[in-house]
Structure 1
Amino acid sequence: MTLRHLPLHDGWTLRPAGPVPLGLPTGGVPATVPGCVHTDLLAAGLIDDPYLDDNENRLTWIGRTDWTYRTTFDWTPDGHDHAALCFDGLDTVATVLLNGTEVGRTANQHRSYRFPVRPLLREGANTLDVRFTAPYTYAEELRDRLGDRPGAYAEPYAFIRKMACNFGWDWGPTLVTSGIWRPVALETWSGPRIASVKLLPDLDAAGVPRLTAELEIEHDGLAPLSGEVGVVGAGAVFIATEDEHRVSVTLSVPQAEVWWPHSHGEQPLYEVKVRVGDDVRHLRTGFRAVTLEREAFRVSVNGEPVFVRGVNWIPEDCFPARLTRQRISERLDQAVAAHVNLVRVWGGGLYESDDFYELCDEKGLLVWQDFPFACAAYPQEQPLWDEVAAEARENVTRLAPHPSLILWCGNNENLEGHADWGWQEELGDRTWGHGYYHDLLPSIVAATDPTRPYWPGSPYSGTPDAHPQDPERGTIHIWDVWNRADYLAYADRVPRFVAEFGFQGPPAYATLRRAVSGPLTPDAPLLAHHQKADDGNAKLLRGLGDHLPRPGDDFDDWHWLTQLNQARALAFGIRHFRSHAPYCMGTIVWQLNDCWPVVSWSAVDGDGRRKPLWHALRSVYADRLIAVRDGSAHLVNDTATPWTGTLRLTRYALDGTVLAEETQPVTAAPRTTTRVPLPPSVATPADPARELLSARLDDTRTLHFHEEDTRLALPPARYEVTVTESDDDGLPAYRVEVTAGTLLRDLSLFPDRLHPDAEADDMLVTLLPGESTAFRVTGAALKDPSALGARPVLRCVNDRIEP
């Protein structure tokens, strides 16, 4: 077979189908494909950036407008028998016309489409139109026909197969998009064509890598076809008879090495060559086996249990066509650098791009993939049922080669919503999604991808008869903390697996300064627009509890203390849950990233800057950890080697005086948690407000305070700072050495206050009197490097205490 692939990304224009509240050129505006209406209007200078100030509020009309994309392309007959228009993604409700003739309709952002068009092509100029119906029009008409359903937000996202968080979320703006959001091309060919290839990598019962390749073949059925599959020295040839259009080949691949998450080993990946006739495809995969113990919700890779150190992933941009492979890689690198080993692709977003899963394969990040259902009762009537079936089959097939993908999950919080959020009375006998999660999706996964487990939803306790939030089985989500309870309530439970829990904090100062014009104050109206959570700013202050002092009206204190409290809350929870391994076998923090500049639960803000929470995650997600609770030190050793040494337990006064010290030899076996009771001399403080406990093993140290900071006798902060400059690939780099004259609690450096590109390598460092630490600041030349040593750039908890 010979194939011609003609990308159709040039020459597009965009026009509304009716009147709009701005002046558009008569011929429309230039459109970028892949892209969307919002980004085209932004590029044309016709709308303000929806991520800044409250501009979002003035753009809701875009999602209620019909739009037409048009381009013209030249075509010359090339002798091929077949031609198809191939859309990798249309967002969402579209009619496609070639030279004025309709060739197809779409209503699903999560699918790709191929439309045969050979009889419609003309020599010379051809006109291609894609007419988009407003998402609100389609979703609201379907809602009116099928009957409304309850959900977390008063938006019709459950009635359209589209990224739900486009309609707004408690961390995201309402920016309802339309557009050709993934590549489009004209393909022409003759002869047999490989329509799809599904690779199922696995290990056999003896642990030997094996590969099953399942092919769908388009051909005229006039003669048998020869083909082959090959990988790493293993191969097989086959003959497809005249009436065969599906072929399955299984290979043993003994020369391949197994793939591991980065916390457990290496990530070898191998090219797979698939040929049918003259049509050749090159794919990539890795080999590993995945099992799930359902009651314990314990994930094992290659027979080895993995404690999940996870983060939830939301769409990185409200306009995902803008995402580059580099930006995705940077965000995933931030996850790896924080010792994260799993990313959960949350159900209110997308099946992510091929780049995303390829990068997870390379970096050794496990992927938990939700099907796109979140926080609503979803109708099961047509046309939605068939759309869900089609998107599921396509994406399960597309993602099957990726060794990083280890779990398919039916939905986010819809089972809990039906059980606990008052939906049942409102629904009556109307459908709500049960058939998707317990019938359609598991049957598709079982038939299409038997190498991976399926889980009906999260939270879920393993059976429809059990309450979905049973901490003794399956997964739970913890949201009483943040919404109502103090974060110390994390310690009131010992769950099997926590798939969502989080605490809010503001983004970096430079991120807020870019996004919000005018003065920055805790109660600034434009800042409040970048806080989407219900009662969010009040919860930020309420969450400080007795942990930290109140910031008052000072913005710098508000920003510092609420960021710090976010980091402290999640670190406390993770330390507690990890100390209960292997009964508890995973935590997935809500959330890694943001899609715009916002006060949210993220560890990395919408401009890609690391918040203090990121630094806390890097500490508490480290391979080795010491947790002090219930009169014991718990040694968490999530490595393949024993952790052996001398545990040094020291009772200090806050002024650095040693009050008592004990040492003892310890060994924590690989992948275990070892409890070491505290000797009486160090276990109980004489004055909890004036003492702390240090537990050190090798280079790992935990400082345990007996009281909250508001009750500690913290001294006014005294320290010496030395700033020295060096070179870092042509840009200045700064070494900021701080020597403590007193105890310094959670010493942190915020160089983005001096330049938006400057960042520090560390944060949240507590120093005892006489100790020193050095921060490295890179990314920008600073006008006044000495400012790195003073407020509001250099902060610690006790810098607010007056001498």
Structure 2
Amino acid sequence: MIRRTVHDGWHLRAVGGPVPEHLADATAPAEVPGSAHLDLLRAGLIPDPYLDRNEAELAWAHRARWRYATVLTSEAARAGEKVELAFDGLDTVATVVLNGHPLGSTANMHRSYRFDVRDVLRDGENDLVVEFDSALEHAERTQAELGERPRAYPHPFNAIRKMACSFGWDWGPDLQTAGIWKPVRLERWTGARLAEVRPLVTVDPDGTGRVEVHIRLDRAGDAPSLLTARVGDHEQRATVDGDTAVLTVLVPDAPLWWPVGYGEQPLLDLEVVAESGDERDTFTRRIGFRTITVDTEPDADGTPFTFVVNGERVFAKGANWIPDDHFLTRVTRDRLARRVDQALAANLNLLRIWGGGIYETEDFYDVCDERGVLVWQDFPFACAAYAEEGELRAEVEAEARENVARLTPHASLALWNGNNENLWGHEDWGWKEQLGELTWGLGYYTDLLPAIVAELDPTRPYSPGSPYSPGEAHPNDQDHATRHEWEVWNRVDYTRYRDHAPRFCAEFGFQGPPTWRTLTDWVHEADGPMTPSSPAFLLHQKADDGNGKLDRGMEPHLPVPESFEDWHWAAQLNQARAVAFGVEHFRSHWPRTAGAVVWQLNDCWPVTSWAAVDGEGREKPLFHALKHAFAPRLLTVQPRDGRTAVVVVNDTAEPWDEDLVVRRISFDGHELATTTLRLGVAARSTSVVQLPESLLSADNREAEVVVATAGGVRALHLFAEDRDAALDPSPLTATAHRVDGGYRVEVTATALARDVALLVDKAAPDARVDDQLVTLLPGERHAFHVTTCADLDPSALTDPRVLRTANALVGR
């Protein structure tokens, strides 16, 4: 078996559409894998699409047509040899031509294509061309043919099998990429090719690991093939004459793979070899032994939705994942590893791959396998009604079959989910009236997709959608399965998270701007100082009435600052507080609530959004709020039975036996009341501690705080919102000095200091800080560790622009 990549010597030029005059006859070197925008950017032919208002200036590309071409030097096919040109991914509407002979056309970004070139390939030079039509125009034609269906955004992204957010979203640019986005190979063989290897990995009740390897061969002749499946020292062999086979490898006392926080993540090498005469083809992946289910057995409260791994019930501490760059080929394995490591640093154990993006890559899943991060994979359907007829249905089935089979080896893959918000949309967003008798995707979610998962990957659970409720219940019912909470952010204050205790909250969140450095590097205002209403800023704020919602969400809690830099900090702080409020509420209701999956972990460009990590990979204050709120042990002040209580959350494998000290103190440090209680909280459980009235009644609501502490874990409760509290506007003294790898910043509180933060990106582009949003009581000290390669004046890190508190916002 000979595989050869076809990545060199490509060139790109526009061949149609409303292209600018300077591009009409231009040819640019092209990188494969890549995209037309990146090739033009690299050649200096377009400005950076992410900078300032360039996104709008590049809208002409939506209807452009592109031609990729290269010369492939090769030998003609020999007698008895199969030769195919394999494209792992084409984005999206493409025609492939070799030596003037059309090989075929494509219209699906989410699948691969193979073309037989035995009769076309010649000795020497071969002209290979891939022409891309406008995906938008293709979608418009499909929509005209099958009927217009409702969707969340103007472009008919639901009429083409392309990454939906390529057409823009409420956090993403509308650039509509085109190009050869995955590898290209020329493959030739005379024996048998491993066309598909689908290992189903389970664990028998006696602890034996079972690897059932389903193999499909692509034969060039009739000779039998010797197949070998091997895991460590264990293997099975078989000689087969047909095209399919199943080999089962048993591994006694298999080491179990666990989610992070529950155990280790041992991975074993699986090797599958097909030998036909002197020729061999090999498949290798790492696998992990575990069982995974979702408990949806009805109970007294409704329908739970609880992940169960190796028999252990898991609270899902998660975040939604979008493509990490709008230009997908810039997302490297190292970049994915950094992002997943950030998820781990925020104490997450699950990432949900949202349905408006892609089936994620092998690199993504490998990284999650290694680190113990559970992955919830949506099928790519989001916020729209989808036709179930014609070529679209065939494409959906083809992509689903390919990707379900492709991802079976990965221990981290925990759930297949049919769609994002389409069941909810059909019920509540006026779709029924618009659709009439048109199909809208229900057959995909309740018939086609679950049948494919049952056939190809029966080791994993499937859910028809998110949100989803079984039976006759409303899709977003809090008592059944999964819920999305968007009244907060869209309409009501974040304290209203407490209105619902869902069985599993799969989406909730609040917006905030990117870090200051990311914002000011990418967004500039030519006509004066930046404001929230600057045209360039607004182009990087995609949410409907986003700034209005930011201000209205801030007003009950913090004054809305007049200066842009203060407003930026206040919006980031309010985002962090809002989401942490929701996380703590949901965690406090375990085991009724079995998951909190924040919208969202990451960004795909520099933008004001719901992300914890911005488009340049910098951690917003929200990131640190998640780290605190998702900590293995948590104290949180919550209403219970009409009173204010401390809820103790113990998400560790050991009981939490410790003294709980609860004090009511004044902002200047005077103790007004105190009590000590003994905690005895079992592993993986919660407990409610009611407080005496002496701690719950303030003498001066504007200047007192309740502090609950157990073993270094702390919760605070103020009797008044910050905007109404008597907070000292300058509650800190601070010093900074150099240490190995960066700087140490020591702060001391002279009064209650709320949410102390170091916005270190203002001091150096590469600077990172180990913690943020640290509240200090009077007399307390805290040391922040800043890592950077920059040679800074240490005083830059104690500058009031960098060293921030909530107090200073209230005092202005």
Residue 166 of structure 1 corresponds to 166
Name which of 10, 13, 16 aligns with 1:12.
10
Residue 665 of structure 1 corresponds to 678
2:770 is aligned with 1:792: no
Partner Cα distance (2:634, 2:335) in 1: 31
Partner Cα distance (1:297, 1:173) in 2: 34
Residues 696 and 702 of structure 1 are in contact (CA less than 8 Å); yes or no, is this contact kept in structure 2? yes
Name which of 555, 561, 566 aligns with 1:557.
566
Residues 754 and 782 of structure 1 are in contact (CA less than 8 Å); yes or no, is this contact kept in structure 2? no
2:417 is aligned with 1:409: yes
Residues 289 and 301 of structure 1 are in contact (CA less than 8 Å); yes or no, is this contact kept in structure 2? yes
Q: CA deviation at 1:218?
A: 2.0
Aligned pairs for 1:417-566 (under 5 A) are 417-463=425-471, 465-518=472-525, 519-552=529-562, 554-566=563-575
Residue 75 of structure 1 corresponds to 74
Residue 364 of structure 1 corresponds to 372
Q: CA deviation at 1:685?
A: 2.3
AA aligned opposite 1:649? V
Partner Cα distance (2:81, 2:269) in 1: 31
Aligned pairs for 1:176-195 (under 5 A) are 176-195=176-195
Q: What SS class does the counterpart of residue 168 from structure 1 fall into?
A: coil
Residue 622 of structure 1 corresponds to 631
2:389 is aligned with 1:381: yes
AA aligned opposite 1:595? C
Residues 486 and 545 of structure 1 are in contact (CA less than 8 Å); yes or no, is this contact kept in structure 2? no
Aligned pairs for 1:153-302 (under 5 A) are 153-219=153-219, 222-240=222-240, 242=241, 244-277=242-275, 278-294=280-296, 295-302=303-310
2:317 is aligned with 1:315: no
CA, structure 1 residues 801+280, in 2 after alignment: closer, same or farther (shift >3 Å)?
closer
Residue 93 of structure 1 corresponds to 93
Q: CA deviation at 1:78?
A: 7.8
CA, structure 1 residues 389+739, in 2 after alignment: closer, same or farther (shift >3 Å)?
same
**Deviation digits for residues 215-236 of structure 1 (CA, Å, limit 9, x no counterpart):** 0012256343322211132221
Residues 232 and 256 of structure 1 are in contact (CA less than 8 Å); yes or no, is this contact kept in structure 2? no
Residues 233 and 255 of structure 1 are in contact (CA less than 8 Å); yes or no, is this contact kept in structure 2? no
AA aligned opposite 2:343? A
Residue 774 of structure 2 corresponds to 765
Q: CA deviation at 1:27?
A: 6.2
Residue 65 of structure 1 corresponds to 64
Q: What SS class does the counterpart of residue 34 from structure 1 fall into?
A: coil
Name which of 721, 733, 738 aligns with 1:725.
738
Partner Cα distance (1:523, 1:42) in 2: 28
**Deviation digits for residues 556-595 of structure 1 (CA, Å, limit 9, x no counterpart):** 1101111000000011111011011001000100000000
Residue 29 of structure 2 corresponds to 30
Partner Cα distance (1:621, 1:723) in 2: 29
- Name the TM-score, length of structure 1 as normaliser: 0.97
Residues 189 and 220 of structure 2 are in contact (CA less than 8 Å); yes or no, is this contact kept in structure 1? no
Partner Cα distance (2:327, 2:315) in 1: 34
Q: CA deviation at 1:737?
A: 0.4
Q: CA deviation at 1:801?
A: 5.2
AA aligned opposite 1:685? A
Partner Cα distance (2:489, 2:322) in 1: 19
Residue 737 of structure 1 corresponds to 746
Q: What SS class does the counterpart of residue 704 from structure 1 fall into?
A: strand
Residue 649 of structure 1 corresponds to 662
Q: What SS class does the counterpart of residue 740 from structure 2 fall into?
A: strand
Q: CA deviation at 1:326?
A: 0.6
Partner Cα distance (1:388, 1:737) in 2: 57
Q: What SS class does the counterpart of residue 411 from structure 1 fall into?
A: coil
Q: CA deviation at 1:290?
A: 0.7
Partner Cα distance (1:6, 1:249) in 2: 29
Partner Cα distance (2:154, 2:59) in 1: 14
Partner Cα distance (1:213, 1:226) in 2: 14
Is the deviation greater in 562-571 or in 115-124?
Answer: 115-124
Q: CA deviation at 1:298?
A: 0.8
Q: Any unmatched runs of 5+ in structure 1? A: none
CA, structure 1 residues 72+769, in 2 after alignment: closer, same or farther (shift >3 Å)?
same
Residue 114 of structure 1 corresponds to 114
AA aligned opposite 2:373? L
**Deviation digits for residues 328-375 of structure 1 (CA, Å, limit 9, x no counterpart):** 111111001100000000000000111000100001100000000000
**Deviation digits for residues 195-250 of structure 1 (CA, Å, limit 9, x no counterpart):** 1100111112334321110000122563433222111322212221x3x2111122
AA aligned opposite 1:175? L
Partner Cα distance (1:22, 1:512) in 2: 32
Partner Cα distance (2:64, 2:456) in 1: 38
Residue 336 of structure 2 corresponds to 328
Partner Cα distance (2:602, 2:810) in 1: 34
Residues 368 and 375 of structure 2 are in contact (CA less than 8 Å); yes or no, is this contact kept in structure 1? yes
Name which of 600, 603, 610 aligns with 1:591.
600
Partner Cα distance (1:507, 1:561) in 2: 12
Partner Cα distance (2:775, 2:437) in 1: 57
Residue 400 of structure 1 corresponds to 408
Q: What SS class does the counterpart of residue 229 from structure 1 fall into?
A: strand
Residue 47 of structure 2 corresponds to 48
Residues 87 and 182 of structure 1 are in contact (CA less than 8 Å); yes or no, is this contact kept in structure 2? yes
Q: CA deviation at 1:409?
A: 0.2
Q: What SS class does the counterpart of residue 177 from structure 1 fall into?
A: coil
AA aligned opposite 1:64? R
Residues 227 and 238 of structure 2 are in contact (CA less than 8 Å); yes or no, is this contact kept in structure 1? yes
Aligned residues: 793
Partner Cα distance (2:122, 2:488) in 1: 63
Q: What SS class does the counterpart of residue 469 from structure 1 fall into?
A: coil
Q: CA deviation at 1:77?
A: 5.0
Q: CA deviation at 1:414?
A: 0.4
AA aligned opposite 1:238? A
Cα RMSD after superposing both structures? 1.4
**Deviation digits for residues 478-513 of structure 1 (CA, Å, limit 9, x no counterpart):** 001001100000011111000000100000000000
CA, structure 1 residues 220+513, in 2 after alignment: closer, same or farther (shift >3 Å)?
closer
Residues 477 and 500 of structure 1 are in contact (CA less than 8 Å); yes or no, is this contact kept in structure 2? yes
Q: What SS class does the counterpart of residue 118 from structure 1 fall into?
A: coil
Residue 300 of structure 2 corresponds to none
CA, structure 1 residues 802+428, in 2 after alignment: closer, same or farther (shift >3 Å)?
closer
- Name the TM-score, length of structure 2 as normaliser: 0.96
CA, structure 1 residues 802+382, in 2 after alignment: closer, same or farther (shift >3 Å)?
closer
**Deviation digits for residues 98-119 of structure 1 (CA, Å, limit 9, x no counterpart):** 1110112111000011111122
Residues 203 and 210 of structure 1 are in contact (CA less than 8 Å); yes or no, is this contact kept in structure 2? yes
Partner Cα distance (1:709, 1:27) in 2: 59
Q: CA deviation at 1:86?
A: 0.8
**Deviation digits for residues 448-482 of structure 1 (CA, Å, limit 9, x no counterpart):** 1000011000000123x321011001100000100
AA aligned opposite 2:627? R
2:645 is aligned with 1:637: no
Q: Percent identity?
A: 52
Residues 717 and 801 of structure 1 are in contact (CA less than 8 Å); yes or no, is this contact kept in structure 2? no
CA, structure 1 residues 735+24, in 2 after alignment: closer, same or farther (shift >3 Å)?
same
AA aligned opposite 1:694? V
AA aligned opposite 1:677? Q
Q: CA deviation at 1:24?
A: 3.1
Partner Cα distance (2:403, 2:570) in 1: 43
